[in-house]
C-alpha cells in the first residue's frame, strides 16, 4: 500500500470521525489540540480503521484496473500472476484427462493448436508433466508432420516439435520437419489461391486465412534454428500473396477465403469470421517471436499486427468477449472463446513487445482475460468454443474443442508475462 495514500486516508478518516462526533454530541466534541487523551486515542484508532477501509475500497480505481484480476505491466508479481498460471494448469489438466475422448487424429491441426498452447504452458510451469506429455506424442509419431506434403494444416504440429527440439537439442525432433519444409521450398506449388474443397491442389498454398497460423511460424522457426534465410524468403513470399488476396485494407480484417468476398451478414455487413482473424493474429505473434530484429520483413508483420489489433480492440463486447461474426455480433450473440483467446494473445503480446500502447490496450486485454476465465467450468473445462467450421456459427456454453484450449493457453502465457 502506498505510504502517502495511507496517511491521506487516515487524515480523511480523522475528518470524518470528527464530523460524526460533532454531529452526534457537540457537547462532548474534543478537538485534537488538547482534550481528553483517552478520547484522542479512541478517535485515532477509529480514523485508522476507517482510513484503511477507504484505501482498500479505492485501490482498484486508483490503480486503474478492476479488483481481483492481476497486477498491471510493470507492477511486482503478485497473486494475479499465480492466478493466471493456476487457471492455465487447471484447463490443461482437464483437457489431458479428457484427451482420449477427442476424435481428431493426434497430428490433425486441431490437436496441433492444442500442443502449441500446451508448449507455452510447459515453458512457464514448474510441473514437468506438460512437456513430458508433448514429448510422448512426438515420440509416438517419430516427430513426423501429418500426411500431406503441402497442406498447411498438416505442418502445424511441427511448431510443437521445434519447441521440443530447442529445449532438448535432440536432432530426431528436428529432422522430419527439415525434410518436409526443404522439399516444399525446392518444389513450390503452382496452385492458385482460389480455394475449392473438392480439389486438393487448391489447398497446397495458403489460400484460407487459418493457414497463416498453421504453416508460416514453422518456416520462421526453421530460419531461426538453422540461420538459413531461405525459410524466411519462402514464408514472406507466400504470406504476402495471401495478404494481398484476402486482406481487406479498409476493414483491416481478413476474409476467411475468396468465397466470402461477395457474401454479407444479416445486417448487410461483410462477413469476417472471428476465429479466422484470430488464427491470423496468432500466427503473426508466432512469426514475430522468431524474426530477428533486423529482418527486412519485420516491419510488414509488425504493422499488420498493430493495424489488426487496433481494429479488433474496438470490436470487443462489453463483457470482454468477441463473437463468431466480428461485424454482426447481434446475429451470433453468444461469446466465442477460441477467437477471443487468440485476440487476447495477440494484444497482450503487442503490449509486451512495445508495439501497442499499454494505456489503450491493457484494459482490453484484462477485460478479455477475465472473460476467458469466466468461460472455464469449475472442473477446468473451457466452454463457448465454436465447433469446426469456415464461417460464423451459433455456440453454446457447453461446446468445447482442443483448439480453443490451445488459444486459451497461448493467451494465458502472454497475460502471465504482463506481470513481469
Active-site positions? 210
Residue 419 CA to residue 64 CA, distance in Å, equals 15
Residue 161 CA to residue 112 CA, distance in Å, equals 10
Q: For the stretch 109-139, what's the b/e string if a residue is b when 16 or more beta carbons lie within 10 angstroms of its beta carbon?
A: bbbbbbbbbbbbbbebbeeeebbeebbebbe
- Strand, coil or helix: 280: helix
Residue 253 phi, psi (nearest 5): -140, 160
Query: In the chain, helix, strand, coil percent, each to 5?
Result: 60, 5, 35
- Please report where in the chains the cell 518456416 appears, as a residue: 219
CA 88 vs CA 78, 83, 100, 237: distances in Å? 16, 9, 20, 36
Long-range contacts from 301-305, C-beta under 8 angstroms, 24+ separation? 302/355, 304/243, 304/247, 305/281, 305/346, 305/350, 305/355
CA 326 vs CA 14, 97, 283: distances in Å? 52, 33, 18
Amino acid at each position: 500500500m502506498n505510504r502517502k495514500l495511507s496517511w491521506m486516508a487516515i487524515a480523511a478518516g480523522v475528518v470524518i470521525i470528527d464530523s460524526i462526533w460533532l454531529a452526534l454530541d457537540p457537547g462532548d466534541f474534543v478537538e485534537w489540540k488538547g482534550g481528553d487523551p483517552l478520547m484522542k486515542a479512541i478517535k485515532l484508532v477509529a480514523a485508522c480503521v476507517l482510513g484503511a477501509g477507504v484505501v482498500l475500497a479505492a485501490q482498484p480505481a486508483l490503480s486503474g484496473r478492476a479488483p481481483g484480476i492481476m497486477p498491471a505491466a510493470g507492477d511486482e508479481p503478485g497473486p494475479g500472476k499465480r492466478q493466471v498460471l493456476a487457471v492455465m494448469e487447471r484447463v490443461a489438466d482437464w483437457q489431458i484427462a479428457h484427451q482420449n475422448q477427442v476424435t481428431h487424429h493426434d497430428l490433425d491441426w486441431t490437436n496441433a493448436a492444442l500442443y502449441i498452447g500446451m508448449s507455452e504452458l510447459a515453458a512457464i510451469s514448474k510441473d514437468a508433466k506438460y512437456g513430458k506429455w508433448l514429448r510422448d506424442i512426438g515420440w509416438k509419431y517419430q516427430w513426423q508432420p501429418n500426411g500431406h506434403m503441402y497442406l498447411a494444416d498438416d505442418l502445424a504440429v511441427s511448431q510443437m516439435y521445434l519447441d521440443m527440439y530447442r529445449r532438448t537439442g535432440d536432432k530426431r525432433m528436428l529432422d522430419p520437419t527439415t525434410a518436409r519444409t526443404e522439399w516444399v521450398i525446392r518444389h513450390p506449388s503452382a496452385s492458385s489461391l482460389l480455394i475449392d474443397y473438392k480439389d486438393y491442389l487448391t489447398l497446397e498454398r495458403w489460400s484460407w486465412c487459418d493457414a497463416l497460423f498453421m504453416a508460416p511460424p514453422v518456416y520462421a522457426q526453421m530460419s531461426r534454428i538453422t540461420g538459413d534465410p531461405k525459410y524466411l524468403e519462402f514464408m514472406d513470399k507466400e504470406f504476402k500473396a495471401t495478404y494481398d488476396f484476402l486482406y481487406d485494407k479498409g476493414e483491416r480484417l481478413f476474409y476467411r477465403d475468396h468465397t466470402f468476398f461477395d457474401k454479407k451478414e444479416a445486417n448487410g455487413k461483410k462477413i469476417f469470421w472471428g476465429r479466422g482473424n484470430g488464427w491470423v493474429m496468432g500466427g503473426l505473434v508466432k512469426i514475430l517471436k522468431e524474426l530477428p530484429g533486423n529482418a527486412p520483413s519485420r516491419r510488414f508483420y509488425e504493422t499488420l499486427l498493430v493495424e489488426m489489433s487496433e481494429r479488433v480492440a474496438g470490436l470487443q463486447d462489453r463483457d470482454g468477449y468477441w463473437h463468431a461474426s466480428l461485424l454482426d455480433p447481434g446475429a451470433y450473440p453468444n461469446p466465442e472463446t477460441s477467437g477471443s483467446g487468440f485476440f487476447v494473445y495477440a494484444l497482450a503480446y503487442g503490449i509486451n513487445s512495445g508495439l501497442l500502447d499499454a494505456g489503450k490496450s491493457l484494459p482490453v486485454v484484462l477485460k478479455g482475460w477475465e472473460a476467458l476465465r469466466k468461460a472455464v467450468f469449475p472442473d477446468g473445462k473451457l466452454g463457448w468454443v465454436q465447433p469446426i467450421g469456415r464461417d460464423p456459427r451459433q455456440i453454446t456454453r457447453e461446446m468445447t474443442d482442443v483448439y480453443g484450449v490451445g488459444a486459451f493457453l497461448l493467451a494465458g502465457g502472454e497475460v502471465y508475462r504482463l506481470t513481469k
